[in-house]
Chain A
Amino acid sequence: MTAYLDHAADTPVLPAAAEAVLAEMTRAGNASALHSSGRAARRVVEESREEIAAAIGARPGEVVLTGGGTESDNLAVKGLYWARRSGADGDPRRTRILVSAVEHHGVLDPAHWLGEHPAGLGAQVEELPVDGEGRLRLDALRESVERDPASVALISVMWANNEVGTLQPIAEVVELAARHGIPVHSDAVQAVGQVPVDFAASGLTALSFTGHKLGATTGVGGLVLRRGTPLVPVLHGGGQEGGVRSGSVDAAAARGLAVATTAAVATLDERAAALRALRDQLAAGVLAVVPDAVVRGAVREEHRLPGLLHITVPGAEGDALLYLLDARGVECSTGSACTAGVPQPSHVLRAMGLSDADAAGALRFSLGRTSTTADVARVVEVLGPVVERARTAGLALAGS
């Protein structure tokens, strides 16, 4: 029996969403076409958009359907930057892009690409520091903005961190930015469906989310963009999605996204309570068998995702732990991105002040809708011997 504790990477598709996708995808009709089939597809897309908007506190016209979180992040970072820097209402002084140092690569990489590529028109990227819990240091943000507010093109701070599960002070960031008229984007891929997210109330300019973290299929997501916000498109073509994101809209995927988002938000409170209980049980069990493991991320409950437990194990390497756990039927993650599968020290843990040695032994357990106490029990059952073995392997490698 396999214990799947990697819901932050991908969570199983909700059966109702799968049924909705299946029902829709066997029908012909491009949502841009004028005939009946096209109109029917368009109706599905627009109804889905309305449901998604309702679930996350946005207007339907503010929901831009995309191919997922990375696309949404790229569209937000590049699109907002270019619009603010060189669009019709742009200002060439706006060259600074402020991001938290713990952003997902979906945000970090387009930002740095703008900073290095001629297409970035001289963009300057500033990574803002976080504290030991991975929370943005607002004093640093304030200092950075107030140093020269007119030069800030945009601020991007994620809602919830994908590695350690720390929630960011979005309200404070927005409040500070609003004083200077600076747009704020938030990558909320890990947050929507996990914690309450109300786009209108947040005051954000743009927000990214994706289907496969909340029970829809992979390859569909959205960028919520406040009405009237100038944005330069990344994909040019047929002018779909208000000209912001060209490409035929996938009606079936949109349907699944609507069903899953609606369900995730509707059941959020009870699921979050259940996930917290499971997560705490997991944390207690893990610390019982590996007493020197360190739980990373925020301490206060209101600063944490309910279903995520991140630990570092001194003297063990994350990829050795992963292999040994996998061989014993426990599927989890080190939490950090890989390049051709090569584990790299996590930029998130580094930003939190961990040494590379401490960051090496990282494990992320992420729980979701289908998680059970049996999953937790399985982890606790195998983790002790696994850690012992991984530590021996670490010593063997260091000594050979």
Chain B
Amino acid sequence: MRVLAALSGGVDSAVAAARAVDAGHEVVAVHLALASASPSATPGRARGCCTIEDSRDARRAADVLGIPFYVWDLSERFGRDVVDDFVAEYAAGRTPNPCVRCNQKVKFAALADRALALGFDAVATGHYARIVEGAEAVTGTRELHRSHDLAKDQSYVLAVLPPHRLATALFPLGTAATKDEVRAEAAARGLALADKPDSTDICFVPDGDTRAWLGARLPEGAREPGDVVDSSGRRVGTHDGAAGYTVGQRRGLRLGVPAADGKPRYVLSVSVAERRVVVGSAEELAVDVLSGDGAVWCGPAPQSGQRLGAQVRAHGAELPCTVEDLDDDGGVRVRLDEPARGVAPGQLLALYDGTRVVGSATLAA
């Protein structure tokens, strides 16, 4: 196959590309320029997925692997579909997951479309997830599964890929045992980026301070101060903009009035329109029904009554649940066996059947 390997400049995607080469594919590397193309905008940025340094590391990895290397400028798409979307979601009081959006709109959409049009058969990335097909696939279709290394599993951020996108996706790291194994493999292959630190934060927030980053970008209305109230409506503090708070958040609430029971308080809900943040106890945070919309099924759609596992944040625990309702407009409702806390609207509700990703929906308020 002719495979386009997306190289971020990190160790995972480099090893993924190397494995694609080993598998006998004709591999070409591409690094995505996602931030502003202006050179003066990036120097000194220590972190992120699109610094000049990352581009250089990606190019060097391609050199070591002996494969051609290109940089594709998808910054416009990324800015519109990921960064602007991120701000708009927060402005609406939701908590978006930009990695999900990037996979859905950039890597496995714009990038994949361009790759296929240029004659490639598949796009390989360094995500920890597994493709299962053939006799092993119980659904009879190409399936997306959790990686063997459950600690690194990234299937959650891929749960938005419909079958025609999975059809051209390759995840060569899905069968790796651990991240340490991947680092060791990188070192053994002579890839100098073997000991490069993992990228953890949001790549377009350079210093990791999402609140400050958002503060400079949210529309005026979303930054107006307002009240922090408890579930009885009693004012317990003030905020300088409801957007930016996340359901389940405990830190940084700066409440003036202590809780009656002295226990920690969490954000229960956020209303940007009413400039209100509601806080309460851990018990009040608990929900046992999850509703989502905009469902995407990676394979066959689930059935009402089907027993599945729900995951509501990246690297979150899988929560046993039963599908209660599915509608024709992409609406999904599941009932959890045990109540969950900190389920933030805007995050992805990913559904699993064993290790298989069934699909996902965006959590509604």
Contact = CB atoms under 8 A, between A and B. Distances in A.
B31 interface: yes
Contacts of A88: none
Given A323-B118, A393-B118, A342 B28 contact: no
Given A319-B71, A341-B55, A341-B70, 17 more contacts: A327-B28, A338-B71, A339-B37, A340-B39, A340-B56, A341-B59, A342-B33, A342-B73, A389-B119, A393-B118, A396-B114, A396-B116, A396-B117, A397-B113, A399-B113, A400-B109, A400-B110
B264 interface: no
B68 A344 contact: no
Top-8 shortest CB links A-B:
A341-B71, A393-B117, A396-B117, A400-B113, A340-B55, A396-B113, A342-B33, A339-B39
Choose among A341, A393, A400 the residue with the greatest number of B CB atoms under 10 Å from its CB: A341
A361 B114 CA distance: 16
B37 A397 contact: no
Contact of A395 (B28, B37, B71, B117): B117
A294 interface: no
Nearest to A338: B71
Interface of B: 28, 31, 33, 37-39, 52, 55-56, 59, 68-73, 109-110, 113-114, 116-119
Contacts of A341: 31, 33, 55, 59, 69-71
Given A341-B31, A342-B37, A397 B110 contact: yes
Contacts of B37: 339, 342, 344
A90 interface: no
A388 to B, nearest CB: 11
Classify the secondary structure of A's interface with B.
helix
A265 to B, nearest CB: 36
Contact of A392 (B33, B109, B117): B117
A320 interface: yes
A327 B33 CA distance: 22
A320 B37 CA distance: 18
A326 interface: yes
A343 interface: yes
A379 interface: no
Nearest to A324: B118
Contacts of A320: 114, 118
Interface in A324-382: 324, 326-327, 338-344
Given A339-B39, A340-B33, A343-B73, A323 B28 contact: yes
28 contacts: A319-B71, A320-B114, A323-B28, A323-B68, A326-B68, A339-B38, A340-B33, A340-B39, A340-B55, A340-B71, A341-B31, A341-B33, A341-B55, A341-B59, A341-B69, A342-B33, A342-B73, A343-B71, A343-B73, A389-B117, A389-B119, A392-B117, A393-B114, A393-B118, A397-B110, A397-B113, A397-B114, A400-B114
A378 B28 CA distance: 22
A75 B119 CA distance: 46
B362 to A, nearest CB: 21
B116 to A, nearest CB: 7
A396 B112 CA distance: 10
